[in-house]
Structures are given as structure tokens and as C-alpha cells.
Amino acid sequence: MNSKKLMLDMTVTENTPLGSLYGLLKLVPTDGSPLPDIAAGQFVQVEVSDSKTTYLRRPISVNYVDYKENRLWLLIRKAGEGTRHLAAAEVGKVINVILPLGRGFGIDNISGKKVLLVGGGVGVAPLLYLGEKLKEKGITPDFLLGARSEKDLLQLDDFAKTGNVFTSTEDGSHGEKGLVTTNSAFDGAYDKIFCCGPMPMMKAVAAVARKKGVECEVSLENKMACGLGACLCCVEKKNDGHNVCVCTDGPVFNINELPW
Amino acid sequence: MVELSVNLGELKLKNPVLTASGTFGYGEEYADFVDLNRLGGFIVKGTTLEPREGNDYPRMAETPSGMLNAVGLQNKGVDYFIEHIYPRICHYDTEVLVNVSGKCVEDYVKVCEKLAPLEKINAIEVNISCPNVKQGGMAYGTTCEGAAEVTSAVRKAWSRHLMVKLSPNVTSIADIARAVEDAGADSVSLINTLLGMAVDVERRRPYLSTVTGGLSGAAVKPVAVRMVWQVAKAVSIPVVGLGGIMNGSDALEFIMAGARAIEVGTANFIDPSVTMKIIDGITEFCDRQGVKDINELVGII
């Protein structure tokens, strides 16, 4: 999908803190214009206008698009100054957003397949919208969500409404104890795995997928400036040795494209 | 309405607003946000004889009011540009300048020879100031001899407008500017990025894979304006100013300090439509202050 990219002022209509580390922002286009088609796995570039130390936009993955309410959901982890400011945005605040950006998850030929969506930490964000898109295609996805502890598991109710949920926590406070890769969800037979989370987790999931011979896509989050394929800062080296931009060639890659 | 067209020697621009190489891709990346035909021109990504993969990730670090980059001239090479990119961008009603880089003088010359048959390319910007490559780049731009050597060699291979992009990482940028003027440059553009460095203290290591990188963005603007002012006093060829321009007022600072045209770089990353706003900002200023022709303001300081 190659929707025209837009730069939109968006108004915060809801900001729900999720634990101490995360915030869920819901935004509507300030001028009331309808949100464009956004694919699962695409991201947006958000301007941070009121932080003294933040100069560049912050790339944030699309958590969900509520077309009925014309609302965009962004799940934000307070990783630094910029995201802390975003997560603190008050209802009514207007934020400038560029969207939709990047190549999302490959779900064109997914009908009839059994899929597992694996997320860790804030990496669960794009999987909610992906689950919704899969549901529209008649697929009930299995979610495997990992976190350090129960309090770090995000949006469990929303995920449960969309598919079957498995969880892993490192301290065993929710679901199975341990890392996602040891979760019994992997005993199931899947045709495709979609994964988003910390790099070590994605690499471990990719290794499991390879071993089982299951197709697997991962979503990367390299540091970027423009988000448009111009600055060439967010590159990832592909199998063929060439650097490609995560912002335009990704953020989603099939693991067979990567030298993992 | 103010007359915005400016001449860089023989090169006519419909307005003084260009985009800086390496921040605007090949123009197309910004087509959803910018009417490219409204620009004075755009300068495409640094182009080399052979394809280059650039430096390892991470290549970028945000800094106060700016950013460091260490991209290292990643590009697919001049042949790819000519065959695949040029045909897509040659129809725009604006000047398309190619930024030329090389690891040796011969490379610069060969790239120019290959570009010479492209009718749309009325000007090149010779990059002797990239801080992120091991060979060539800034090595040429930090001595008068090196800068003159590249300029005079390119001059023989390129008959149309020859702009040379200068490095700020020198003791006297005016001396370098004079050297490239004497060697046959038609204009100079400045400044390229300032060599900088940032450390991730939690991890106890530099943010960039290359340790050092080029600083750009609003943080460098006062340094850039000062250098443009110094160079404009030192040479008689036109000066193109860049470094941290975020809005029309910033652009006018450079123009009043002596720049005939300006380039917008890092600001494109924050607001991809910023060049349109800069053209509007300059126009608004001139109309408000009764300036009939933008050239009246060039070098008034």
C-alpha cells in the first residue's frame, strides 16, 4: 500500500497512563478530516514541540486505528525526554503527526493461515491493530505477549477481545514464567509468526521460527531522523550486504531478508 | 509582490531557496509535502563514482537543537543515478543540482564527465567537506591547496555552473573560499556540518559507530551566519548559505550576511514542508518591509 503521506495536526482526546512507564494516547485530526488508510505495522512521526531537549520527531508505531471514531491510538513508552513529553500530553493538546509511514506486515495472502503474533514490552503496540486486520480477514490470531512482570503487560483486555492470548513474564507473575521463546504457545502449529519487541527477543523468536520452518516477519525500530527515506540514518544491513532504510523498506522485514 | 529570482552567475534560480544535499533525498521523498516546482532548486544526495554502503549503524544522534550524523555518503553511484533516478526527476520545473563527492581527484572528474551529457543538470555542488568518510571528502576541504586542486580539476571537466561546498572545520574559511574562487569555482556554498561527538554515558560509549560525526541543525546557525559573512566579504563569486535554517527569518539572516541563495537541510526532517514556509516567510517579510527585490537585501551587513 502506498497511501499519500500526510502531515496532520491531531488533537489528544484521551490519555490513559498504563503503569508508570507507558501512556496510551488517542488522537483525532484537528480539522475533522478522515484518517487515511493505514496498514498494520506502519508508523507515524510525531513532533515534540514543548521539550527543550527534543529536536527531531519521534517515530511511534500505530497501536490501533478506530475508523468508527476517526481516532489514532499511539502506545508510548517513556524512553527519554521526547517520549516522556508525549506521554504527558493533556487532553485537548494539538500534536503534529506525519502518517502513514513505512511498510507494514505482509498479510495480503494470509487467508486460511494460522498465525502467531509475538510481542515484548512496548513492541506489543502494532500487534493489536495487526490482530484487528487479521480478524477482518477471518483469522483469529494467537497472541503471545511477554514482559518483565504482570504490571508491564499492556492492553491485555483489548488483545483478549481480538484473539487468544498467551503470556510470559520473567518473574512468573502472569502466564508462564520465562522468556516468550519457552512459552508453550510455540508448541502449536503455525504458518506465520509476526514479531515486534526488543532486538534480542526478535532474534530469539526468529531463531525458533527458522528451526520450525515457519515464515516470520519482525518489526525493527532503528533510530531515525526523517522517516521518509531521505536522511539514511536508520539503515539495517540486509542479507545481500546492502543497507536499506528501516523507515521505508521496513519497519517490517521478513527474517529471510536479514542476516540473522 | 517581491521579486525573488536570483542569479548565481549564469545559473538562474526562481527564488533563493534550495535544499541541502543529504537531507532531501532525490526530491521525490518529499513530493507529498512540497511542490518541488516552487523551489529555487534541490540538491540531490552526494553522488560518487562507485556505489557506497556508507558507515555502520548507528549513524545518528540527537543533540541540543541539532543532530549528529555519520551516514558516510551512502549512495548507489553515478551510473545508477543517471540510469534510474535522473529520468524520474528531470521533468521538474526547478533546478536540480548534483552534489559530487570522491575519494580522489580523479573520481570527482570522472563523475563530472558522466554527468556532463545530462541536459537538466545546470550545476553541480562539489563536496570537499564531508566529515564522515576516510578518504577524500573533508581532507580536501581543509587546506587551500587541496580545495584548489579538486576545484581546478573539476573545472576542466565541467563547463556549467560549479559550486564548491566548504567545510567549517578550518581555521580560516575565507582563505579556502578565495582558493576555490581562484581555481575557477562559480560559487561557494557553506557550511557543511561541524565535526562533533556525543557520548552515551550509561553505556560508556559514543553514540555513533564512527565516534565522530557532522553536527547540523539550529545549533550551528550562528557559526554558519558568521562564516557566510566572512566569506562574502572575501570573494566576489556568489555565496550560498546554509546551516540550521528553520524558517524565513533564519534564511534572511544568511541573505543579509551575504548569501545570494540559501539551502535548507536538517529542518526538512522535522517539517517536510518547511521549504514552502520559508519561501512564504521571505515573501511576507519583503512585502511587509517594502522590499521590491530580494537582491536588495543580499550582503547589506
Is residue A162 assigned to a domain? yes
Residue burial B142-162, b: 16+ Cβ < 10 Å; e: rest: bebebbbbbbbbbbebbeebb
**Does A11 share its domain with A79?**
yes
Min distance B11 CA to chain A CA atoms (Å)? 26
Is residue B265 assigned to a domain? yes
Q: Where are the alpha helices (H) located in chain A, listed in sequence order?
A: 81-87, 125-136, 156-162, 199-212
Q: How many CB atoms lie under 10 A from the CB of residue A99?
A: 24
**Does A87 share its domain with A159?**
no
**Local structure of residue A255 (DSSP, 8 states):** G
Is residue A210 assigned to a domain? yes
Is residue A243 assigned to a domain? no
**pLDDT mean across residues, chain A:** 96
User: B62 at the A interface (CB within 8 A)?
Assistant: yes
* Positions in chain B whose pLDDT score sits under 70: none
pLDDT score recorded for residue A2:
61
Is residue B227 assigned to a domain? yes
For residues B274 and A54, what is the distance between their CA atoms, to the nearest angstrom?
A: 18
Residue B126 to residues A21, B157, B185, B288, Cα–Cα distance (Å)? 48, 12, 10, 37
**Does A55 share its domain with A122?**
no
Is residue A227 assigned to a domain? no
Mean pLDDT of A15-38: 96
Min distance A44 CA to chain B CA atoms (Å)? 13
Cell of A154: 499492556
- Residues B131-157 have pLDDT tens digits of 777 777 788 999 999 999 999 999 999
Query: From A82, which residue of chain B is nearest by alpha-carbon distance?
Result: B62
Going by DSSP bridges, is the β-strand pair A215-219/A192-196 parallel, antiparallel, or unpaired?
Answer: parallel
Which residues of B have a catalytic role annotated?
A: 130
Cell match 521579486: residue?
A: B3
* Domain tally, chain A: 2
For residues B184 and B120, what is the distance between their CA atoms, to the nearest angstrom?
A: 22
**Does A97 share its domain with A173?**
no
Cell match 527477543: residue?
A: A201
Rg (CA), chain B: 18
Is residue B113 assigned to a domain? yes
Is residue B31 assigned to a domain? yes
Is residue A252 assigned to a domain? no
Q: Smallest Cβ distance to B54: which of A229, A236, A243?
A: A243
**Local structure of residue B30 (DSSP, 8 states):** G
Min distance A48 CA to chain B CA atoms (Å)? 10
CB distance B60–A57 less than 8 Å? no
**Does A155 share its domain with A59?**
no
Is residue A139 assigned to a domain? yes
For residue A171, give every residue at least 6 positions away whose Cβ sits within 8 Å of its Cβ, in sequence order, or none: A148, A149, A177
Is residue A238 assigned to a domain? no
| pLDDT reading at A3 higher than 80 | no
Is residue A245 assigned to a domain? no
pLDDT score recorded for residue B139:
84
| pLDDT reading at A1 higher than 60 | no
**Residue B256 phi, psi (nearest 5):** -65, -30
Min distance A223 CA to chain B CA atoms (Å)? 7
Residues on chain A touching B221 (C-beta within 8 angstroms): none
**Does A86 share its domain with A123?**
no
Q: Which domain holds residue B11?
A: 6-297
CB distance B74–A56 less than 8 Å? no
Last residue of a domain, one of A71, A101, A131: A101
Q: Smallest Cβ distance to B60: which of A223, A228, A242?
A: A223
| pLDDT reading at A53 higher than 90 | no
| pLDDT reading at A59 higher than 80 | yes
Please report, for the domain that includes residue A33, its CATH number: 2.40.30.10
Is residue B1 assigned to a domain? no
Mean pLDDT of A233-252: 97
User: B299 at the A interface (CB within 8 A)?
Assistant: no
- Residues A90-117 have pLDDT tens digits of 999 999 999 999 999 999 999 899 999 9
Burial class of A247 by CB neighbour count within 10 A (0 to 12, 13 to 18, 19+): buried
pLDDT score recorded for residue B61:
98
**Does A120 share its domain with A97?**
no
Q: Smallest Cβ distance to A55: which of B45, B66, B273?
A: B66
Q: Which domain holds residue A166?
A: 115-219
Mean pLDDT of A141-155: 95
Residues on chain A touching B65 (C-beta within 8 angstroms): 55
**Chain B residues 211-230 with a CB less than 8 Å from chain A:** 217-218
CB distance B33–A5 less than 8 Å? yes
pLDDT score recorded for residue B31:
97
Please report, for the domain that includes residue A151, its CATH number: 3.40.50.80
For residues B161 and A140, what is the distance between their CA atoms, to the nearest angstrom?
A: 62
- Residues A149-208 have pLDDT tens digits of 999 999 999 999 999 999 999 999 999 999 999 999 999 999 999 999 999 999 999 999
Q: How many CB atoms lie under 10 A from the CB of residue B103?
A: 19
Please report, for the domain that includes residue B49, its CATH number: 3.20.20.70
pLDDT above 70 covers what percent of chain A? 99
Residues on chain B touching A228 (C-beta within 8 angstroms): 25, 29-30, 272
Residues on chain A touching B74 (C-beta within 8 angstroms): 232, 235, 243
Could you tell me if B88 and B100 are in contact, meaning their C-beta atoms sit under 8 angstroms apart?
no
ipTM of the complex: 0.95
* Domain tally, chain B: 1
For residues B72 and B291, what is the distance between their CA atoms, to the nearest angstrom?
A: 41
